[in-house]
Structure 1
Amino acid sequence: MRTLIHEAEGALNGLGIQNPKQWGEAELKVWDLAERGRRVVSVSLLLLCLITVCTGALLTALVEHHWDMAMEMWLPSYAFFLLTVCYVQLDLIAIRRGRSPAYAQWAAVSTLVACQTQADESQATSVTTAQLSRNVERLSDALITYAQFGVSRKPGPRAALLTQCAGMSQRLESAFEASLRDRSQVRVLAKHIVHLIDALGRQEPLNMVSSAESAPAESVPAEGPLPWRMVMAHLLAFLTGVGLIAGFKALGLSAEYLLLLAPLIYLVVQIPYLATGRIPTALRHLPRLAAPMPEPASESEVRTSDSDASADVPRQLVPVPQRHD
């Protein structure tokens, strides 16, 4: 954490911005310890899952009764792997909520380091731009999490904090968009982050932005629910596929017939996604032909086209060949 603070101080010195009065080292140490503990537990569990799955697959391949061994060894080990991944994700959510002040402080300091890289002409690339974008998004997410779980669970303080954090998030996003037009505006983004760190360090979270800049209550993003329907859809699709294969094996069909029935298996596996209302992205947005975008017309042309009855006739969605003179 001291290294991260030194990098942030060097970034502010390079941008010509005064350092915050206090960096919140205690909060940063809390986040560092929590993150290290989570990584150790996650890596240990995932390695155990990898060994279990590989052992189950190896035993399934070596014995004669492949299907019986797969049902007894490989499928339980694979289910253990899925449950472990689910636990790791829930543990990450719990740490971010339980250590939300430290999470917000760490996200702010990390974004300052990314600002210095983006402001430097010799280092700014498309990779650094994408990295700064991810840092700003993570900082906005950390602020919303801090407003919901960092101070109080009562409706009054939470509502006030949400409007302040949403206003600060909008200010950060506006500054980042301005830096995409003029890279020198990264300095403005860094100033906003320094003001944010000062407000969190003084324990004055309602002083992030002025009352005029705070977001209205109706526009504050609510906490996103956990995608339980998507989890259930994946689980049901997995069980459906296993049931189909078991049924085909019970009918005495060999593996060659399974390849011929692959389209049927694919369509049947999509049923759980349709039933839960969670259609995969590849099926939700089908490719289609579209006419080229028209040029923007003046207000008089728009009014004339609106009053014309022929405007209601749909266009043919066919590609228009380009003319080469």
Structure 2
Amino acid sequence: MLKLLILFYATVSALATVAIPTATLFGFALVARPVRMPGRLLNRWSFLRDRTASRVENLINEAEGALDGMGVQHPTQWGEAELKVWDLAERGRRVVSVSLLLLCLTTIGTGALLTTLVEHRWDMALEIWLPSYAFLLLTACYVQLDLVAVRRGRSPAYAQWAAVSTLVACQTQADDCQATSVTTAELGRNVKRLSAALITYAQFGVSHEPGPRAALLAQCAGMSQQLEGAFVASLRDRSKVTMLAQHIVHLIEALGRQEPLSMVPSAECAPAASVPVEGPVPWRMVMAHFLAFLTGLGLIAGSRALGLSADYLILLAPLIYLVVQTPYLTTGRIPIALRHLPRLTAPIPEPASENEVRNSSSDGSATSVRPLLPTPQRND
């Protein structure tokens, strides 16, 4: 039984060693250049296509019912093709992520079972659990990378799906019997997600040329401001949710006609300086973290090879800390916590105006030293 378990662990561990790091590196490539067509493999099965069509139809029916309940006119077209694309992309992303997570958990569970069946449990735990938890961290990193890659690669479908989902949340908030603090928070999250989807669509959905991209960013930022303003107005008067729904319907129609520059009038476009652009991936910081992780593993392996006990590791803690910080220094990306250390100094006083300086000099008052800690006030 033990031999079979060891053979099974060796097979699963080898598969995880190949699959999980490869998927993580592939995820970095997809984030840098989102060219993947997620969900294309799932689209080959007819039952999955039928299920996707049913889910999209149910979502559109819910949105139409929400608009009927609020008395808002339906959009001329819902963009069913984009909604199906997003549903397939999300399903494909979840299948890959769950498969890697199950592989990682199987490796950890088998290693834990082996650890309980051998005599040298501490040595076995170091040899088995450490790589297993490294696989878990890499899997979590891949899930986040894949999410960003899917949203960038399918940004038009992501914007359509976020808009329709926000319409359903509007209907719940407009209903007197269903509106609660939970529905208000849910509507706020949907509006925030829709704004983020619009910015992603402006950056990656149409063109990478600076001219069209800047114009589309201004349009999407203007629409985001209108959505946020309507949401804030609904917090004062809940009947203003219909205004938010009207903005979303206009957005869906503009995306359906493939006229994204007609979302808001040109006079209401946000200036280019105020557009919240998604920043680039800090590749040097990512590489520094990865090298620091490898450096830590190398130190642990070297200490075990030299036969050092835990007491010596405690004495070598400052040296280990300096060695782990070496990748940050070589890549030129020092962590913010180390770059800006807290200082216990008095705050710098603001420069006084000329009138205050003249008044103080005429009164002849001496400048008093400002204490570092605030003095307690006495209540007379």
TM-score in same-fold range (> 0.5):
yes
CA contact (8 A) 1:273 1:280 kept: no
Superposition pairs for residues 245-284 of structure 1, below 5 Å? 245-246=300-301, 249=304, 254=309, 271=325, 275=329, 276-279=333-336
What letter is aligned with 1:173? E
Deviation at 1:8, TM superposition (A): 1.3
Partner of 1:170: 225
Deviation at 1:266, TM superposition (A): 10
> 1:217, 1:153 → 2: CA distance?
16
- Determine what percentage of the aligned residue pairs are the same residue: 72
- Residue 46 of structure 1 pairs with residue 89 of structure 2: no
> 2:300, 2:341 → 1: CA distance?
29
Deviation at 1:99, TM superposition (A): 1.4
Pick closer, same or farther for the CA change 1:234–1:177 going to 2, 3 Å: farther
Residue of structure 2 aligned with 1:149, choices 204, 215, 220: 204
Partner of 2:247: 192
> 1:124, 1:74 → 2: CA distance?
48
Residue of structure 2 aligned with 1:20, choices 52, 57, 75: 75
For 1:203, what is the secondary structure of its paired residue?
Answer: coil
- Residue 130 of structure 1 pairs with residue 199 of structure 2: no
CA contact (8 A) 2:75 2:249 kept: yes
> 1:137, 1:285 → 2: CA distance?
33
What letter is aligned with 1:20? P
For 2:266, what is the secondary structure of its paired residue?
Answer: coil
Comparing 23-32 with 223-232, which one deviates more in the overlay?
223-232
Q: Give deviations 1:71-104, integer Å, cap 9, x for gaps.
A: 6533333333333333332222222122111110
Q: Would you say how many aligned residue pairs link Structure 1 and Structure 2?
A: 314
Partner of 1:86: 141
Pick closer, same or farther for the CA change 1:155–1:80 going to 2, 3 Å: same
Partner of 1:108: 163
Pick closer, same or farther for the CA change 1:67–1:158 going to 2, 3 Å: same
Q: What is the RMSD computed on CA atoms of the aligned residues?
A: 3.9
Unaligned runs of 5+ in 1: 291-301
What letter is aligned with 1:132? L
What letter is aligned with 2:280? P
What letter is aligned with 1:183? R
What letter is aligned with 2:335? R
Q: Give deviations 1:221-273, integer Å, cap 9, x for gaps.
A: 32322244554454355445545555665675655887x77996996698479
Deviation at 1:220, TM superposition (A): 2.2
- Residue 77 of structure 1 pairs with residue 136 of structure 2: no
TM-score (norm 2): 0.68
Unaligned runs of 5+ in 2: 1-55, 347-352
CA contact (8 A) 1:111 1:132 kept: yes
CA contact (8 A) 2:218 2:275 kept: yes
> 1:54, 1:245 → 2: CA distance?
23
For 1:212, what is the secondary structure of its paired residue?
Answer: helix
Deviation at 1:200, TM superposition (A): 0.9
Comparing 16-25 with 64-73, which one deviates more in the overlay?
64-73
Deviation at 1:142, TM superposition (A): 1.1
TM-score (norm 1): 0.78
- Of the two, which has the highest radius of gyration? 2
Residue of structure 2 aligned with 1:220, choices 249, 269, 275: 275
Pick closer, same or farther for the CA change 1:239–1:303 going to 2, 3 Å: same
Pick closer, same or farther for the CA change 1:121–1:175 going to 2, 3 Å: same
CA contact (8 A) 1:241 1:265 kept: no
For 2:245, what is the secondary structure of its paired residue?
Answer: helix
Q: Give deviations 1:177-228, integer Å, cap 9, x for gaps.
A: 2223333322221111111011111111110000011112222232322244
Pick closer, same or farther for the CA change 1:72–1:322 going to 2, 3 Å: same
Comparing 5-14 with 312-321, which one deviates more in the overlay?
312-321
Pick closer, same or farther for the CA change 1:65–1:102 going to 2, 3 Å: same
Q: Give deviations 1:111-138, integer Å, cap 9, x for gaps.
A: 1111122223332333222222221111
> 1:128, 1:266 → 2: CA distance?
50
> 1:184, 1:313 → 2: CA distance?
57
- Residue 33 of structure 1 pairs with residue 72 of structure 2: no
